[in-house]
Each structure stands twice: as structure tokens, then as C-alpha cells.
């Protein structure tokens, strides 16, 4: 009987599960829209219903296990949207909706006219954040917890906090939530250099140390599937549950080739550009993040990340805007029809002419949340949907290249190849072409679909003993096109 390892990704819009076999057969995968986003909230709020997230995760596991009944499940790895905030009471029940990385309530002015984020940054010397690898920003757990207190929205019976992937792993195993370094650092409160929660940052953000989860190695076994969850998923009770990792790190594990001459551009809802670092370094405007070890007998590395950049949300903007304009004239057009129209008219030549240029930061950036999109080169006749879309695609590529150039001596050089991952890359070949022309090197789209779930499965498989290291696992992860 073949063995498999399952990777589970709790994403911003969907939940994905993938099963990787140890006998070389193609992986099986399932993706479900979780529809957990809460509507009707004030502008700038981004929340999700935790019960819908958990139910979708259970459904995905049930479906993937049903597709692999003849295999032994060696372990379940988990990943998910970083920076998310889950508030729990003493019984580990959620106290309110999950607050996601897209939340901007920390930018709302308080009674004194100052936003919680500005107040927090004024209280925190910049050098205090150096060891975290990032700057406190909207949507980060540390920022969100401070904002909840300043806006009088923090539940009185809070007992602990968790990241959404860690919380799902906790629900599967019946254990109190723990976390790993990749998630912990995404809070803005964890010192990667000293490998611990930063006490002065906790004080500044008014975060109680006993709220925070223990930090354990990425991908290590943290518990076993409970009988209740076994009944719900069809997976054997006692199946090892592995410590969750951030979705950014999971995508890097599955999609960034070995070596120092490559980088990864991930286009999901947002966009990131990533490359490895052998040791901890800080570069202005980029995050330094933890990268889990490639094998059980190695130490973890680090990676430089240009995060919070424009990505799939910018591509989706043109579709949504076209449909909104038409709707105001009483013409209802489907999302699929708009994509069909654009794909028919978008050509490589349209990208090369660059008749319209665009800075597609419609929702701001992590460094500058108030930044907005800009179109230039608009004439009397060229502001067409296809030209706008072409400008956006080129603008996304340019935003990635600008981050690469700004890193100067700490970037891959010579750069020989770029791997692109995420549905935004897979569904937009002209974006891949734009990136290749911007950087002047070949670009390949990752052969792994559902890259984050795949990375979580690979790491879990290494810790379960299916493979000696990540490189050995990668050869089992290619999904054949339908």
C-alpha cells in the first residue's frame, strides 16, 4: 500500500488539500471556496467566519481522503494565510471572527485623531523591530491586537491568540494551539535573531505574553487527529498533525529551485518576490523571514521578501470595474465573459506597445497603505479595457523588478531563472511574459499546483520520514495538467 502525505492550505478565498504519493503517481488535489468572508463590515475591515473556514477544511480533507482510500496517510501538514488573528477563550473557542491580513482597522483614527498604527509606531523605536525582520503594518497580529484595544473591540474574556492555520491544526489535533517561527514573525512581535517573543514590543503593543502560543519547529509533529475529526474526515484517528507554516514559506518550499541564482514571484491575491538568504540580514522596504529547514538535521535559513505588492487583486480589478461600469448602464456581464473578451484582445504586442502605463497599487502597499493606483499615457482613444489590462500586467512586473533592483548587492546575481507561482501567474501567461521581459531572464511557472498546500505536504513528509529532504520530495509533487 502506498503512503501519502496531505497538505492543507487555509487561503484567503479558498481551502485546498493535496495528497502526495511516495510511489511516484501524480498527486490528488481538492480546492473549495470557503465563502467565509464576512460582508457588510465598515470599509477597511476584513474578517472571516471561523466556522466556515473549519468546515471547509474538514470537507477538503474528507474529499481528498476519499480520493486516496487505497493509501496510508502518513501525516497532515498545514499552512495558511499569514498575519491572521484568531481570539480564543479558555475553552479554546473563538471569541469573534478571524481578522485577516487584509484588515486595515489599525489605520482608523481614534478619538485623539491618531490611528492605532501611528500611535504604536511612535512608541516603538525602529531598531526594536530590526530583529523581527519586518515593520509593524496593518493586518499584522501585533498591530491588530493593539488596534482592537484602542478601538474598544477586544473581548474581555480573551485567553489566547492564534494564527488561522495554527488554530485549524489545533482543532484537528485537540491540542492547544502552537506556532512556528514563520507565523510568529508575521505578527511583528517575534525576534528572529534572538528566537523569541520580543518583550519590549509586547509591552508597547499591550499584548500579554501568556496570550501567545509556544513556538516549535516548522512541520514537526504536534499531535494526532482526534476521533471526532477522524469521523468527519474519513482519515484514521491518530494520524500525525504537523506544525503549520506560513503560506509564503510553503510556496517557497514547493516552488523555488535550489541554488543562489533563482528567485520566486508568487501571484496570489497579493504578490511577493522572494529569494533565499544564508543568514539574517535587513534591507529597507523588504521583510526578512524565516525559511524552514530542508531536512530534519539542518538549521532553518532566511529569505528576503518583497511583500504586500500588487498581484491577483490588481488583475481582478479590471474585470470587476468593467462589470461595474456596464451594470450602471443596465448591462449585466459575467466574470467569465469579461475574461474571454480580454484574452481575445490581449496579445504580446499589446504589452510591448505599453500605450498605457500603470502603477496598480489600488489598495496601497504594506509600506504605504495610503498609496493608490496611477495610469499614465492616457490619450483620446487608447483607454480601452485591453490596454488598461495590459498596463496593469506590465505594472505588476515592474513593481517586482523595482524591489529586486533596490536590493543591490544582496540580490541573486547573476540571476539566471525566475519561478512564478500562484493562480495569478498560472492563469495569466501574458503576465509571465511581462516578468520575463522586465528581468531579462527565462521564467517558468511552477509545476506544482496549489503551491502552499504542496509545500506544507512536502515538509510534513520530510518530518514523517517519507523523504530525507525537500529536494527529494519535490520530484513527487508535479500535478499533470488535465
Facing residues of 85 across strands?
A: 99
363 or 329, higher pLDDT: 329
- Please state, as a whole number, how many other Cβ atoms lie within 10 Å of the Cβ of residue 79: 37
Place of cell 498581484: 311
Over residues 86-107, mean pLDDT:
97
pLDDT of 351 > 60? The answer is no
Q: What is the pLDDT of residues 389-403, one digit of tens each?
A: 999 999 999 999 999
State percent of the chain over pLDDT 70.
97
Q: What is the pLDDT of residues 138-174, one digit of tens each?
A: 999 999 999 999 999 999 999 999 999 999 999 999 9
pLDDT of 369 > 60? The answer is yes
Query: What's the pLDDT score for residue 448?
Result: 81
Query: What's the pLDDT score for residue 435?
Result: 95
pLDDT of 459 > 50? The answer is yes
Over residues 457-478, mean pLDDT:
92
Query: What's the pLDDT score for residue 311?
Result: 87
State percent of the chain over pLDDT 90.
76
Query: What's the pLDDT score for residue 348?
Result: 53
Residue 162, phi then psi, degrees to nearest 5: -150, 160
Facing residues of 273 across strands?
A: 265, 306
Residue 191, phi then psi, degrees to nearest 5: -90, 105
Over residues 249-273, mean pLDDT:
90
Over residues 87-106, mean pLDDT:
97
Closest alpha carbon to 85 in 145, 7, 31 = 145
State the distance between the two ends of the chain, measured CA to CA, in whole angstroms. Answer: 25
Q: How far apart, in Å, are the Cα atoms of 404 and each of 251, 264, 275, 397?
A: 19, 11, 10, 11
Kindly indicate the confidence band of residue 482, based on its pLDDT and cuts at 50, 70 and 90: very low
Query: What's the pLDDT score for residue 353?
Result: 55
CA–CA separation, 64 and 6 (whole Å): 8
Domains and CATH numbers, the chain: 3-249+450-474 (3.30.420.40)
**Residues contacting 91, CB < 8 A, separation 6+:** none
173 or 69, higher pLDDT: 173
Query: What's the pLDDT score for residue 76?
Result: 99
pLDDT of 428 > 90? The answer is no
Mean per-residue pLDDT of the chain: 92
Kindly indicate the confidence band of residue 259, based on its pLDDT and cuts at 50, 70 and 90: confident
pLDDT of 26 > 50? The answer is yes
Over residues 373-379, mean pLDDT:
93
pLDDT of 121 > 80? The answer is yes
C-alpha cell at 198: 520580543
Kindly indicate the confidence band of residue 80, based on its pLDDT and cuts at 50, 70 and 90: very high
pLDDT of 273 > 70? The answer is yes
The answer to whether the beta carbons of residues 412 and 275 sit under 8 Å apart is yes
Over residues 299-316, mean pLDDT:
88
Over residues 106-127, mean pLDDT:
94
The answer to whether the beta carbons of residues 242 and 219 sit under 8 Å apart is yes
Amino acid at each position: 500500500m502506498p503512503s501519502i502525505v496531505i497538505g492543507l492550505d487555509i487561503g484567503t478565498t479558498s481551502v485546498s488539500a493535496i495528497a502526495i504519493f511516495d510511489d511516484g503517481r501524480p498527486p490528488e488535489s481538492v480546492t473549495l471556496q470557503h465563502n467565509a468572508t464576512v460582508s457588510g463590515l465598515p470599509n477597511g475591515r476584513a474578517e472571516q467566519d471561523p466556522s466556515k473556514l473549519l468546515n471547509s477544511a474538514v470537507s477538503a480533507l474528507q474529499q481528498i481522503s476519499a480520493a486516496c482510500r487505497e493509501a496510508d496517510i502518513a501525516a497532515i501538514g498545514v499552512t495558511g494565510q499569514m498575519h491572521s488573528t484568531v481570539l480564543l477563550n479558555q475553552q479554546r473557542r473563538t471569541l469573534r471572527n478571524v481578522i485577516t491580513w487584509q484588515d486595515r482597522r489599525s489605520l482608523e483614527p481614534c478619538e485623539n485623531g491618531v490611528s492605532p498604527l501611528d500611535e504604536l509606531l511612535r512608541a516603538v523605536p525602529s531598531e526594536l523591530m530590526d530583529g523581527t525582520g519586518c515593520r509593524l503594518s496593518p493586518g499584522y497580529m501585533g498591530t491588530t491586537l493593539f488596534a482592537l484595544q484602542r478601538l474598544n473591540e477586544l473581548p474581555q474574556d480573551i485567553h489566547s491568540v492564534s494564527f488561522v492555520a495554527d488554530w485549524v491544526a489545533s482543532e484537528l489535533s485537540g491540542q492547544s494551539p502552537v506556532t512556528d517561527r514563520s507565523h510568529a514573525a508575521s505578527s511583528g512581535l517575534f525576534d528572529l535573531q534572538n528566537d523569541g517573543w520580543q518583550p519590549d514590543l509586547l509591552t508597547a503593543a499591550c499584548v500579554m505574553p501568556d496570550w501567545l502560543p509556544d513556538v516549535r519547529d516548522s512541520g514537526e509533529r504536534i499531535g494526532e487527529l482526534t476521533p471526532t475529526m477522524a469521523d468527519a474526515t474519513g482519515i484514521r484517528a491518530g494520524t500525525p498533525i504537523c506544525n503549520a507554516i506560513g503560506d509564503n514559506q510553503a510556496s517557497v518550499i514547493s516552488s523555488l529551485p535550489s541554488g543562489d541564482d533563482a528567485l520566486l514571484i508568487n501571484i496570489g491575491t497579493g504578490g511577493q518576490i522572494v529569494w533565499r538568504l544564508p543568514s539574517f540580514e535587513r534591507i529597507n522596504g523588504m521583510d526578512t523571514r524565516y525559511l524552514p529547514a530542508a531536512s530534519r538535521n539542518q538549521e532553518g535559513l532566511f529569505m528576503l521578501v518583497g511583500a504586500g505588492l500588487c498581484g491577483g487583486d490588481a488583475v481582478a480589478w479590471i474585470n470587476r470595474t468593467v462589470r461595474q461600469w456596464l451594470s450602471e448602464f443596465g448591462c449585466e456581464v459575467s466574470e467569465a465573459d469579461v475574461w474571454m473578451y480580454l484574452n481575445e484582445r490581449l496579445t504580446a504586442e499589446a504589452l510591448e506597445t505599453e500605450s498605457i502605463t500603470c502603477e496598480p497599487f489600488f489598495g496601497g502597499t504594506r509600506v504605504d497603505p495610503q498609496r493608490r493606483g496611477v495610469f499614465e499615457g492616457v490619450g483620446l482613444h487608447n483607454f480601452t479595457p485591453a490596454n488598461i489590462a495590459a498596463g496593469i500586467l506590465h505594472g505588476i512586473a515592474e513593481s517586482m523588478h523595482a524591489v529586486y533592483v533596490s536590493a543591490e548587492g544582496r540580490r541573486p546575481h547573476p540571476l539566471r531563472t525566475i519561478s512564478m507561482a500562484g493562480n495569478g501567474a498560472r492563469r495569466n501567461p501574458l503576465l509571465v511574459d511581462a516578468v520575463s521581459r522586465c528581468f531579462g531572464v527565462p521564467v517558468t511557472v511552477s509545476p506544482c499546483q496549489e503551491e502552499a498546500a504542496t509545500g506544507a505536504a512536502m515538509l510534513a513528509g520530510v518530518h514523517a520520514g517519507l523523504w530525507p529532504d525537500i529536494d527529494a520530495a519535490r520530484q513527487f509533487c508535479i500535478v499533470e495538467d488535465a
